[in-house]
Amino acid sequence: MPLRHATDDRNSPGFGTPLGFCAVPVERMNREQFYAKLMPFDEERLRKVLWNLYWRGSAQLRKRIEGEMEPAERDRRRRSPAEPPDPGAVLDEVRDFVQLARSGAYIAGDRRVSPAERTRWRVTFRWLATDAQSALRAEDADPAEEALSLIIDLAREMGDYNYFRSEDPVEAARFVVSDAASALWQSMRSRHGFRIFAERAAAQLVKWESRYGWTRGWGQLGDKETTLASVLARMLPAPDMWTAFADCYLDALDEVAPATTAKAKSREYSDAGAFCRRRTDALAEWHELLLGSLAGSDVEDRLDRLTRHPALAGPELTFLQARLAYHRGDLERARTLAHDCLEELPGHHYFAGFAAEIGAEFPPRAREIADEVARREAAQATAGGPG
């Protein structure tokens, strides 16, 4: 199985050896040269060559060979560039790729994936992602929506698991999760209507959102990423839409809450609270948007349900409770909750700023950090002032 949070040890024995042995020649034969090489082969030998390629090749190569043996498939591959790919075929290919990645076939000696395919996984990922998004334009785009959802699922998991040999697989694949999610959600809203879009997108938001992006921060792709909260905010122009989506979001949290304990036992966390805290951290911006949209309205009761939800936990939830208490004029409770936030995360910039704004007492460690920050800023201001 793939290892979590592992990194490539490029100095380990044998890591780079197979790559040099299996390197693809810089130059390839053109069509005339290739046909000339095949001229001495009789039909039986050609069959043997093709069979070896089919049997020993990657899953994508086998599917390509199978497709060439079907006239309808050849016609599909020769379609006009303006014509979207067949959504069903794209979904089949994506399912195969995702299943192989999750099984560890791209990082281990698995005969289902050839050594050459393991080194070019990012190319396969990109054309599958491109085909899935292009297939959204087809008349029956349901399979395309499922395919793109699987691709985003995999990209989200790639931040935690080493499915491929890459220090930053999402960066290597040049896949912008927020752009793909936006395309998917636009398609869902257009084809299925707002209610179905809200139900599906709310569940996907809980599963996919990442506060700091989906790359590991070592490349330039992160500059193109936005949070899914900001993507959704642009798709909810009316107050009634915010209310309807908030209801779907709370229902989605209800769905994941019972599974949290079971999932915690199967992975590296020893308690369900760790899962809840991680989820709450990822969704902090979305919760801030909900607070701004629903507070003071006739549907403010949704915020009570949100701030007490068992699928959420940690200092970010306490901070949300403090903000809601302050909005309602309960200054004493807001100050107590702000103090509790700083007890757990004494160096948190936003917690400290809110606590100072409402006059909350700082815990000793948080006060030390705040004073040190103030001294550093004052020194910088003095150094940058007129001589």
What percentage of the chain's residues is helix, strand, coil (to nearest 5)? 65, 0, 35
Domain boundaries defined on the chain = 46-75+84-204
Closest CA to 336 of 345, 325, 328, 327: 325
Please, what sign has the CA dihedral across residues 275, 233, 213, 201? positive
Which SS3 state, helix, strand or coil, does residue 4 take? strand
Cα–Cα nearest to 165, from 106, 237, 79: 106
Query: Rounded distance, CA 353 to CA 375, Å?
Result: 16
Confirm if 257 and 280 have CB atoms less than 8 A apart.
Answer: no
Distance linking the first and last C-alpha atoms of the chain: 62
Token pair of 202 as six digits: 């709310």
**C-alpha to C-alpha distances, 209 to 14, 96, 152, 289, 316, nearest whole angstrom:** 37, 25, 11, 14, 15
Q: List per-residue pLDDT tens for the chain, 387 residues long.
A: 444 443 344 344 333 333 333 434 446 777 777 877 888 888 888 888 888 888 888 777 777 777 676 654 455 555 556 789 999 999 999 999 999 999 999 998 788 888 888 889 999 999 999 999 999 999 999 999 999 999 999 999 998 899 999 989 999 999 999 999 999 999 999 999 999 999 999 999 999 999 989 998 767 888 899 999 999 999 999 999 999 999 999 999 999 987 655 555 555 445 668 889 999 999 999 999 999 999 999 999 999 999 999 999 999 999 999 999 999 999 999 999 999 999 999 999 999 999 999 999 999 999 999 999 999 988 888 876 554
Q: Are 33 and 25 contacting, i.e. CB atoms less than 8 angstroms apart?
A: no
Instruction: Please tell me the distance from the alpha carbon of residue 60 to that of residue 92, in angstroms, as a whole number.
Output: 11
Other beta carbons within 10 Å of 14: 6
Assess contact for 146 and 128: CB atoms under 8 A: no
Please name which of 95, 172, 59 lies closest in space to residue 126, comparing C-alpha atoms: 172
CA-closest candidate to residue 307, choices 294, 192, 298: 294
